Structure 1
Amino acid sequence: MEYTTTRRTVIGSLLGGAFLALGSTGASAQDGLIAASVADQKSLFYIAAVDGMRAAAEEAGLDFNVASANNNSREQISQVQNLLVQQPDALLFISQDSTAAAAGVKAANTAGVPVIAVDQRPESGDGDIATFIATDSVKAARDLCSWLFDQMGGEGQLAILKGVLGSTAEIQRTQGCNEALENYPDIEVVATQTANWDENEAFRATQNILTANPELEAVFGESDAMALGAAKAARQAGRDDLLSVGIDGFPTMFDAIREGFVQATMAQIPYQMGMMAVQDAMKIMNGEGDSIPELQYQDAVLLTADNIDEYQPSDFYGPAADEMK
């Protein structure tokens, strides 16, 4: 299977649409308020997404208010209600979990404020959203796990570290890797644990997994933070040979891949997705909401030692990417 692609191809076509200037969307600079509620401002993905939102709002002359829930669904629900009191023209919503997603979207629907969901979405029947912008996580996980299984020679023991259970990304990434596993019958999943996207939780989980499974060959972390935590636990245990991969494309992963600390990541485009959310909000404000697709899945880019030098962190995480290392 061929996974390699070039930076020119990716940036010129796959990511190209997200780099469009606001003026080319048909939306013009105007007065208005965009509100954003995000799960946290610790994850580099969410930081970059908010950076993209803020940059697009500033370019358009819009006011922009953002609230971070610090990974607390109850706090996020309260914050959404407070943001809605300000009567924003649109709510950009990165929910903490399914509970916050459902409650937040329903509150916005009641207030008549259109919702643009980014990265996480409410389940069917839990309210109406204008659009959903996210990585195609099923495809990303399927491609990444297939690549990993090839590096394992098509056989061996695998551990899976899951994100927040029930979140959109966790569901889709689990599905994607399971689809890859169907094509590799000699890969044995010996452990599956939840580490909630957190590096420290992944570190502790991997310590326990290695103790119980000394012949473990690889870890699929459903996020880069968990992949890094797994790699650190492996190094502490003297297992420099353990393969560890993740999904996000964090700027910190570039050096980690070059140094062989981790083997691969699927790089997302959070900065551009944040910009897209504001561009869609402006379309709604200009009466062009019907032109927005219901689903806007974005492809991720497989980064490995073979192609890591063809890319820059800013290709995915925006101008401030180097400060995130």
Structure 2
Amino acid sequence: MRSIRYGAAVLAATALLTACGGTEATQVDAQAVSPGCPENAQRIAELQDTLSKNLYGIAAADSGKTQHSDPEPLGAGAPIKLTFSIEGLSHPFLVRQQQLATEKAAELGVQLDVVSANDDVNKQFNDIQNAIAAGSNGIVMMPANTQGLTAVLQQAQERNIAYSFSQKGMLGVQPATQALAPYALEGTRLGEWVVAHYGDQQDVKVALISGITGDQSSVARTGSFELELLKSCNFDIVAEQPGQYRRDASAKAAESILAANPDLQLVFGANDEGALGALAAIEASGRTGIDVVGIDGQKEMFDALKAGKALATVKHLPTADKAVEETVRYLRGEPVPQYVVTLGDLVTAEDARSGSVEPAF
């Protein structure tokens, strides 16, 4: 566990890091980087450097700008067969993604075979290989983890099979399109709101329950949220533990955090499952006065907001239907964006109670 007093805005952290060859060997100009809390300059620089290289920050900046088209498109009336390789169906958001992909394929008049990897990265690799062998025209992937996919994507490229990503993606590859989640933007948006919500309150004790260990989406969400708190000088991060984006694992992480931090005031969940797991642990402990925030906008989080058990979430928009649509357009020879990123609304308890915003799933 670590305790960090957070500081003010980043002005030159990334440039300093680049010039000096990375965070490990760099001594940043603390006063220049963080004039309000110079003791936090090194952490600011580390986060800024990490996020500047993160796929989801890059994608957000380029969304809708860079476009390309299939050099060997199918004929206008040619049938299209797509495979949608989804990481699993163990989360309600994934179920919703499957539904939207299926509906969009039907709307466009293309065949879509949905294959669930059942949360097994090895099975997903094999599923993609099978889709290549079966002669799919295109493969839309929603991977839990993109590590190890390069070899199978090369196989698809050699067979002239278009592939694209939904939700999570990759750098250094050549997909038709990447309809990606705005992970970095979501963390920033929630962090900005938390800073405004607590105002001038000092030394707010915060715990972070991150997502999948080492996953770029978790790095983007958690890091960008942390960076916003860092800028305000008013927050102490007292603990960070992974919850793997699942409720049970997040509850266990929260249990140990609660036991070690009797003065905890706020828990951040890298998704709503993480936040709801933390909430369950808080309720089981009998503790009160601990706020919870998350990201996704799922129905159970809306219920927690309405009941006054949570403060806010950011509505996470599905991407599978957009990935299917853009892949079909690519196969037809139309120009499509390299990245598509759309940020959903921040939802407070007041918003949830008013009924003005519907849950994401």
Query: Normalization by structure 2: what TM-score?
Result: 0.74
CA apart distance, 1:215: 0.6
Residue 65 of structure 1 aligns to a residue whose secondary structure is strand
Q: How does 1:82-121 map to 2 (within 5 A)?
A: 82-121=130-169
Q: Which residue of 2 aligns with 1:151?
A: 197
CA apart distance, 1:218: 0.7
- Bigger drift between 90-99 and 202-211 goes to 90-99
Contact 2:169 2:180 in 1 (8 A): no
Q: Which residue of 2 aligns with 1:196?
A: 244
Q: Which residue of 1 aligns with 2:183?
A: 137
Unaligned runs of 5+ in 1: 1-16, 18-26, 318-325
CA apart distance, 1:175: 2.7
For residues 71-107 of structure 1, what are the alpha-carbon distances to aligned partners after superposition, in whole Å with 9 as ceiling and x for unaligned?
A: 2211111111112112112111111113144344333
Contact 1:39 1:70 in 2 (8 A): yes
Q: Distance in 2 between matches of 1:93 and 1:249?
A: 23
Residue 256 of structure 1 aligns to a residue whose secondary structure is helix
Contact 2:167 2:320 in 1 (8 A): no
Q: Distance in 1 between matches of 2:77 and 2:106?
A: 9
Q: How does 1:153-232 map to 2 (within 5 A)?
A: 153=199, 154-155=201-202, 156-232=204-280
Residue 140 of structure 1 aligns to a residue whose secondary structure is helix
CA RMSD of aligned residues (A): 2.0
How many residues in Structure 1 have an aligned counterpart in Structure 2? 284
- Bigger drift between 209-218 and 279-288 goes to 279-288
Q: Structure 1 residues 28 and 207, CA, compared in 2 at 3 Å: closer, same or farther?
A: farther
Matched, 1:234 2:234: no
- Bigger drift between 223-232 and 71-80 goes to 71-80
Q: Structure 1 residues 278 and 190, CA, compared in 2 at 3 Å: closer, same or farther?
A: same
Q: Letter of the 1:62 partner, please give it.
A: V
Contact 1:258 1:305 in 2 (8 A): yes
Q: Distance in 1 between matches of 2:98 and 2:78?
A: 20
Residue 89 of structure 2 aligns to a residue whose secondary structure is coil
Q: Distance in 1 between matches of 2:305 and 2:312?
A: 6
Q: Which residue of 2 aligns with 1:304?
A: 348
Residue 182 of structure 1 aligns to a residue whose secondary structure is helix
Q: Which residue of 1 aligns with 2:325?
A: 279
Residue 238 of structure 2 aligns to a residue whose secondary structure is strand
CA apart distance, 1:302: 0.4
For residues 31-65 of structure 1, what are the alpha-carbon distances to aligned partners after superposition, in whole Å with 9 as ceiling and x for unaligned?
A: 22110111111122221111111001112221111
Q: Structure 1 residues 261 and 29, CA, compared in 2 at 3 Å: closer, same or farther?
A: farther
- Bigger drift between 71-80 and 152-161 goes to 152-161
Larger radius of gyration: 2
Contact 2:306 2:350 in 1 (8 A): no
For residues 200-228 of structure 1, what are the alpha-carbon distances to aligned partners after superposition, in whole Å with 9 as ceiling and x for unaligned?
A: 00001000000001111111111110000
Q: Letter of the 1:90 partner, please give it.
A: G
Q: Distance in 1 between matches of 2:219 and 2:209?
A: 12
- Bigger drift between 167-176 and 147-156 goes to 147-156
Residue 76 of structure 1 aligns to a residue whose secondary structure is helix
Q: Distance in 1 between matches of 2:76 and 2:358?
A: 30
Q: Letter of the 2:272 partner, please give it.
A: D
For residues 243-270 of structure 1, what are the alpha-carbon distances to aligned partners after superposition, in whole Å with 9 as ceiling and x for unaligned?
A: 1111111122221211122221111111
Query: Normalization by structure 1: what TM-score?
Result: 0.82
Residue 41 of structure 1 aligns to a residue whose secondary structure is coil
Q: Structure 1 residues 30 and 261, CA, compared in 2 at 3 Å: closer, same or farther?
A: farther
Residue 131 of structure 2 aligns to a residue whose secondary structure is helix
CA apart distance, 1:148: 2.2
Identity of aligned residues (%): 25
Q: Distance in 1 between matches of 2:123 and 2:94?
A: 17
Q: Distance in 2 between matches of 1:121 and 1:44?
A: 20
Unaligned runs of 5+ in 2: 1-63, 65-74
Q: Distance in 2 between matches of 1:181 and 1:30?
A: 53
